[in-house]
């Protein structure tokens, strides 16, 4: 087993557990690290800077930062060890090192060291801003067949697993008085100040360890080492019963009314493999907070200069953090390039740790006083008014070319000095992490003194504290944090007590900074010193931004999209502000006028599995089951989804096809007796003295004269006159009715009715209650249904005179109290028996038992559709699509001419709805009786499809089945002026050619209604 040794690990120091060694693999090579390492710190300890290739030009890239802002150190985890759990786009800087961790470079092909795509780098001059847009506007064929596959292959952002994710992801809702985001010095101070009040406080920190920058700087607070102070604060918070600490938790989204979403990596740091039962791999928190304190810190900006992207070029603060937190020396030969005083401390720290600091290159003529003096005192060369103009090296930086700045600020295009180095530190100043603040609706303001966008006006109940507020010194962070925490609990209605807001901190004065957006070589030499990268993930350069301006782009949002600045998994955390500065210079406008792009959630990427949580498989959508469901399963039913309901579709016997089963079920219902579970129909109890008037207004037909015990069919329209729903309504007593709705529309109809009652007709004394699930409904139909009913309800007079069609009766059925409705959706003698839901199973058993000897046959929705279509009964949603009036459906008889008003009445007389050539419901019989037309087939005049297009469409098939009773295929269709064309032959346009069909009346069976009293048998 070959491997690397941790040559760059210092012998002591760091917030790591050296007693716990960890071995991991990077691109197949074993390396060592310690518990407490991130993947990035462990790689650096092993001297590895080159971790990936850039997306567009495939340039070698290294580790630039130590946190979420790193643009390039993305790796694929577990590709070979656990292919189902493999995950692309892991940020090495935020991946906890675990034993056995297997990671690999992404986007490099065939290997990291020898990358074919690097030749692309040579083509960079022709792949400038808008490259992708420009080739997309070229040949479509070339794009689809050559360019896009090539780009995808070359770019690649890792491999997705092919298998379902085997892990559990979960969601949790939680409420609190104060949410503190970020556990650096400001966040810790805020949480401690808030926690003392007894209010519920949540502290969320993306890192596994609390302390933020205290872990990476040499600081003392009240005489206590910063690392120890953070640990003491954490211990104090842990002891507070009202505080919930959420380490490894990134707040990714800030939405309205202080609703925030956070991603907790619950077991990722324990390695791959199955977690304990109930332990999700990741958890998405839905946090609703009365007050929020944002303490999200700041990101250091890189500097833009020629070839500023080589591995070994690192943010100054990140190098400091690697040194102090992980005891890693990121390089031994160091040059620092800065535009501010703060970065000097990194050079001093590295110097103190034994590295050679060749020079501090400061773009300012006049830096501050204390830091340069300290550097010089340490023997470090300080070069003011200079920039790094270019670099050398391939897989690692080997040197920096130093140039003088002219009085115009441009770099004089020859090297003043060329310094060898293996670590080039850069610092362009600090950018407050205002992402969440901006997502919350807060407005930003550009502060020229701090060279940063800082929070201005808040739109929600929040406070900002520390570096994210533009307060970069530690004492300021602590006091601002403590004050914000106390203020938050006070505004949430709790007493914070006397909050301590002053802390003794020893810290150098390092606030001076001057903007440097691009160390731009003098005119004519701009391309001579290499590519000045701005967005390292998308390979956007300063040239691209200026080119976009030359091509007419001015808005920062347009330039972003044209140059791809700020896209990608890092969302331009290191790129955006530099890009704005360069754009402002190119436009000749001040930065506040240019403004920022929009900050959108998520702050860092969220896995789809975490978003889905448990909404997978059976939990994604409820399967609604009737009281009789288990009986259907036992009978071997195939099920159909109708809305959320599982309805029996057909009941195949062993060896039967669906066609055979449906034909058998149809024959049983026409010749003997069929039984259907009709429980899913919507049922609404309507009561009140104005109920009849209410029905008059919602249905198209008249209801005033419906007697108690009688049932009537009704159609309801929307205001536009189009059919909305249909069903029967029974009069239960003087002031009470029971309405049924279609299965899929039950909730929508109730909402529709309540809406009208509450907003349009508040004077109507009517009350509605959903009783869909109060009742289970078993429907029996067929010539022998009467015999069966007689066996079930022996006490009931079933003669047509005593129990006529379209009436209902209370009855004892199979020993159960029932409501029996004589209605028919099949044309046969039919009884719908309703019993209380919890007795539905018992009723079904009794019906099946009593049907023995009568040929009783359960039938499903498919047979129901055939039987009703043979009778020309519509199904809302099948024969209608929201553009049919009752008249289109041939239901003139159901539209009252006498009622003063009903919903949709006025629309029925509009010229368009009264047209004679509207599509009308008709039946359709194929000339070839074996044919069942596909639903949706277009209907044209005979021979029309052979004529040149456009072919006029007459209409389309809405339903089509095989009818055993007709011994033919048949269809219902909507045909222009169809009722006037009965007997005409038309053509149904099928892929195989035209098929002739004859238009007929939609009622194809028993037009005289002889079967409904059961005599036709």
Partner 1 sequence: MDTPLEMGPEMGPGGPGGRWENPLLALELDMAAASGPLVTLSCAPPRAAINLRATEGLLPEIERTYGVRPSTTPNTWTASADGSRIALWLGPHEWLLLAPEGTAPSVEAAIRDARANDGWLGVCDVSHNYTTLMLRGRRARLVLSKGCALDLHPRGPWRPGTCAQTTLARTRVLLRVTDDPDAIELWVRNSFARYTVAWLLDAMTGIAHEPGDF
By the criterion CB under 8 A, which residues form the site for partner 1?
170-175, 200, 276-279, 286, 288, 614-615, 618-627, 629-630, 645, 685, 687-690, 707-709, 732-735, 765, 767-775, 808-810, 812, 814-817, 836-842
In angstroms, give the least distance from the CB of 168 to partner 1: 8
CB 107 within 8 A of CB 52: yes
Closest to partner 1 by CB, 641 vs 917, is: 641
CB of 615 to partner 1, least distance (A): 7
- Between 222 and 621, whose beta carbon lies closer to partner 1? 621
> In the complex, what is the shortest distance from the CB of residue 242 to partner 1, in angstroms, rounded to a whole number?
9
Q: Is 658 helix (H, G, I), strand (E, B) or coil?
A: helix
Query: Minimum distance from CB of 861 to partner 1 (Å)?
Result: 16
Task: Measure the CA–CA gap between 718 and 695, rounded to whole angstroms.
Answer: 14
In the complex, minimum distance from the CB of residue 624 to partner 1, in angstroms, rounded to a whole number: 4
* Count of other CB atoms within 10 angstroms of residue 438: 20
Q: What are the two backbone dihedrals, phi and then psi, of residue 186, each rounded to the nearest 5 degrees? A: -70, -45
Two tokens, residue 155: 């770019």
Using the 8-state DSSP alphabet, how is residue 272 labeled?
S
CB of 436 to partner 1, least distance (A): 21
* Whole-angstrom distance, CA of residue 461 vs CA of residue 473: 25
373 vs 802, beta carbon nearer partner 1 = 802
922/295 Cα distance (integer angstroms): 69
Sign of the C-alpha dihedral computed for residues 493, 494, 499 and 505 taken in this order: negative
Coil, strand or helix at 374: helix
Q: Which is nearer to partner 1, 861 or 920 (CB)?
A: 861
C-alpha 765/C-alpha 689 separation (Å) is 6
Minimum gap (Å) between residue 756 Cβ and partner 1: 16
Residue 260 or 768: the one with the smaller Cβ distance to partner 1 is: 768
Q: 858: which strand partners? A: 675
Rg over alpha carbons for the chain, rounded to the nearest Å, is: 38
Pick 290 or 324: Cβ nearer partner 1: 290
**C-beta of residue 52 within 8 angstroms of C-beta of residue 105:** yes
Residue (of 683, 715, 998, 965) closest to 826 by Cα position: 965
Nearer to partner 1, 89 or 170 (CB): 170
Please provide residue 308's backbone torsions phi and psi, each rounded to the nearest 5 degrees: -85, 15
Report strand pairing: 533-535 vs 723-733.
unpaired
Nearest distance, CB of residue 733 and partner 1, angstroms: 4
Rounded to whole angstroms, the Cα distance separating 876 from 68 reads 54
Closest distance to partner 1 from the beta carbon of 821 (Å)? 12
Q: How far is the CB of 584 from partner 1 (least distance, A)?
A: 43
Residue 454 β-bridge partners: 445
Neighbours of 565 (CB within 10 A): 29
| CB nearer to partner 1: pick between 407 and 759 | 759
Residue 110 or residue 278: which is nearer to partner 1 going by CB?
278
**Residue 18 or 279 with smaller CB distance to partner 1:** 279
- Measured from the CB atom, the residue of 122 and 276 that comes closer to partner 1 is 276
Closer residue to partner 1, CB minimum distance, 567 or 756: 756
Which DSSP string do the residues of 844-908 spell out, in sequence order? HHHHHHHTTTTTEEE--HHHHHHHHHHTT---TTTT-SS---TTTTT-GGGS-SS-S--TTTGGG
d(CA 352, CA 356): 9
Q: Which residues 6+ apart lie within 8 Å of 181 measured at CB? A: 187, 204, 251, 260, 292, 293, 294, 295, 296, 436
- Smallest distance from partner 1 to CB 856, Å: 20
Closest distance between partner 1 and the C-beta of residue 708, in Å? 5
For residue 751, the SS3 value is helix
The answer to whether the CB of 367 falls within 8 A of the CB of 385 is: no
Token pair recorded at residue 824: 């028919």
């Amino acid at each position: 087993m070959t491997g690397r040794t941790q040559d760059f690990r210092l012998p002591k120091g760091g917030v790591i557990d050296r007693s716990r060694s960890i071995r991991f693999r990077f691109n197949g090579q074993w390396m060592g690290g310690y518990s407490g390492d991130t993947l990035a710190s462990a790689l650096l300890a092993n001297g590895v800077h080159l971790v990936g290739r850039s997306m567009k030009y495939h340039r070698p890239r290294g580790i630039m930062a130590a946190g979420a802002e790193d643009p390039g150190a993305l790796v694929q985890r577990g590709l070979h060890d656990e292919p189902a759990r493999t995950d692309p786009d892991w940020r090495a800087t935020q991946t906890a090192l675990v034993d056995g961790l297997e990671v690999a470079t992404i986007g490099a092909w065939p290997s990291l060291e020898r990358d074919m795509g690097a030749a692309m780098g040579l083509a960079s001059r022709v792949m400038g801003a808008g490259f992708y847009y420009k080739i997309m506007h070229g040949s479509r064929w070339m794009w689809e067949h050559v360019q896009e596959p090539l780009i995808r292959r070359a770019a690649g952002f890792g491999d997705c697993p092919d298998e379902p994710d085997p892990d559990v992801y979960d969601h949790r809702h939680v409420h609190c008085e104060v949410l503190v985001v970020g556990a650096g010095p400001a966040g810790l101070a805020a949480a401690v100040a808030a926690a003392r009040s007894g209010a519920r406080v949540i502290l969320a920190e993306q890192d596994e360890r609390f302390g933020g920058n205290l872990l990476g700087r040499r600081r003392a607070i009240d005489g206590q080492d910063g690392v120890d102070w953070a640990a003491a604060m954490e211990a104090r918070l842990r002891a507070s019963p009202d505080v919930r600490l959420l380490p490894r938790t990134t707040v990714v989204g800030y939405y309205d009314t202080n609703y925030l979403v956070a991603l907790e990596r619950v077991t990722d740091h324990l390695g791959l493999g199955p977690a304990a039962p109930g332990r999700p791999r990741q958890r998405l928190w839905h946090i609703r907070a009365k007050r929020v304190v944002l303490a999200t810190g700041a990101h250091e900006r890189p500097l833009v200069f020629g070839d500023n992207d080589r591995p070994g070029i690192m943010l100054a603060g990140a190098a400091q953090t690697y040194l102090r937190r992980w005891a890693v020396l990121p390089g031994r030969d160091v040059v620092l390039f800065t535009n501010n005083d703060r970065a000097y401390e990194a050079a001093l720290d590295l110097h103190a740790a034994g590295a050679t600091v060749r020079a501090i290159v400061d773009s300012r003529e006049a830096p501050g006083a204390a830091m340069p003096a300290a550097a010089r005192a340490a023997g470090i060369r300080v070069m003011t008014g200079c920039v790094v103009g270019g670099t050398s090296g391939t897989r690692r930086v080997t040197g920096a070319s130093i140039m003088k700045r002219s009085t115009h600020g441009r770099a004089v295009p020859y090297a003043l000095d060329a310094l060898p180095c293996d670590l080039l530190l850069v610092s362009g100043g600090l950018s407050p992490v205002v992402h969440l603040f901006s997502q919350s609706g807060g407005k930003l303001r550009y502060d020229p003194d701090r060279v940063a966008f800082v929070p201005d006006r808040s739109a929600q109940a929040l406070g900002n504290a520390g570096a994210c507020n533009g307060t970069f010194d530690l004492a300021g962070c602590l006091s601002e944090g403590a004050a914000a925490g106390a203020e938050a609990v006070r505004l949430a209605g709790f007493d914070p007590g006397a909050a301590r807001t002053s802390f003794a901190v020893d810290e150098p004065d390092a606030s001076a900074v001057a903007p440097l957006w691009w160390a731009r070589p003098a005119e004519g030499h701009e391309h001579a010193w290499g590519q000045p990268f701005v967005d390292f993930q998308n390979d956007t350069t300063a040239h691209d931004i200026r080119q976009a301006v030359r091509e007419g782009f001015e808005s920062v949002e347009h330039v972003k999209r044209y140059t791809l600045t700020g896209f990608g998994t890092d969302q331009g955390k290191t790129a955006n502000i530099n890009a704005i500065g360069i754009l402002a210079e190119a436009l000749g406008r001040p930065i506040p006028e240019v403004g920022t792009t929009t900050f959108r959630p998520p702050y860092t990427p969220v896995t789809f599995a975490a978003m889905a949580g448990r909404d997978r498989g059976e939990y994604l959508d409820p399967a609604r089951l009737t009281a009789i469901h288990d009986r259907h399963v036992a009978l071997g039913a195939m099920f159909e989804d109708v809305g959320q309901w599982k309805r029996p579709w057909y009941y195949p016997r062993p060896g039967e096809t669906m066609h055979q089963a449906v034909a058998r079920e149809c024959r049983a219902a026409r010749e003997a007796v069929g039984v259907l579970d009709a429980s899913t129909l919507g049922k609404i109890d309507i009561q009140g003295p104005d109920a009849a008037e209410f029905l008059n207004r919602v249905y198209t037909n008249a209801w005033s004269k419906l007697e108690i015990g009688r049932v009537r069919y009704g159609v309801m329209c929307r205001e536009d006159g189009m059919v909305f729903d249909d069903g029967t309504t029974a009069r239960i007593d003087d002031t009470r009715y029971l309405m049924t709705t279609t299965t899929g529309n039950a909730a929508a109809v109730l909402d529709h009715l309540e809406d009208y009652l509450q907003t349009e007709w508040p004077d109507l004394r009517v009350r509605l209650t959903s009783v869909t699930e109060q009742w289970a409904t078993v429907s029996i139909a067929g010539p022998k249904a009467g015999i069966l009913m007689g066996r079930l309800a022996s006490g009931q007079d079933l003669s047509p005179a005593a129990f006529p069609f379209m009436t209902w009766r209370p009855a004892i059925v199979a020993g159960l109290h029932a409501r029996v409705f004589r209605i028919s959706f099949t044309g046969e003698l039919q009884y719908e028996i309703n019993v209380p839901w919890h007795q539905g199973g018992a009723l079904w058993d009794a019906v099946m038992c009593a049907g023995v000897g009568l040929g009783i046959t359960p039938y499903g929705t498919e047979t129901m559709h055939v039987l009703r279509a043979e009778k020309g009964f519509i199904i809302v949603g099948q024969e209608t699509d929201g553009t049919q009036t009752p008249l289109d459906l041939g239901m003139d008889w159901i539209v009252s001419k006498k009622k003063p008003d009903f919903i949709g009445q006025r629309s029925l007389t509009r010229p368009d709805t009264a047209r004679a050539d509207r599509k009308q419901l008709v039946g359709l019989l194929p000339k070839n009786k074996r044919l069942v037309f596909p639903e949706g087939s277009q209907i044209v005049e005979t021979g029309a499809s052979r004529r040149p297009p456009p072919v006029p469409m007459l209409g389309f098939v809405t339903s089509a089945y095989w009818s055993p009773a007709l011994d033919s295929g048949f269809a219902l269709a909507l045909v222009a002026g169809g009722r006037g064309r009965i007997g005409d032959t038309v053509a149904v346009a099928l892929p195989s050619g035209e098929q002739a069909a004859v238009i007929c009346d939609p009622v194809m069976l028993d037009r005289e209604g002889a079967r409904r009293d059961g005599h036709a048998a």
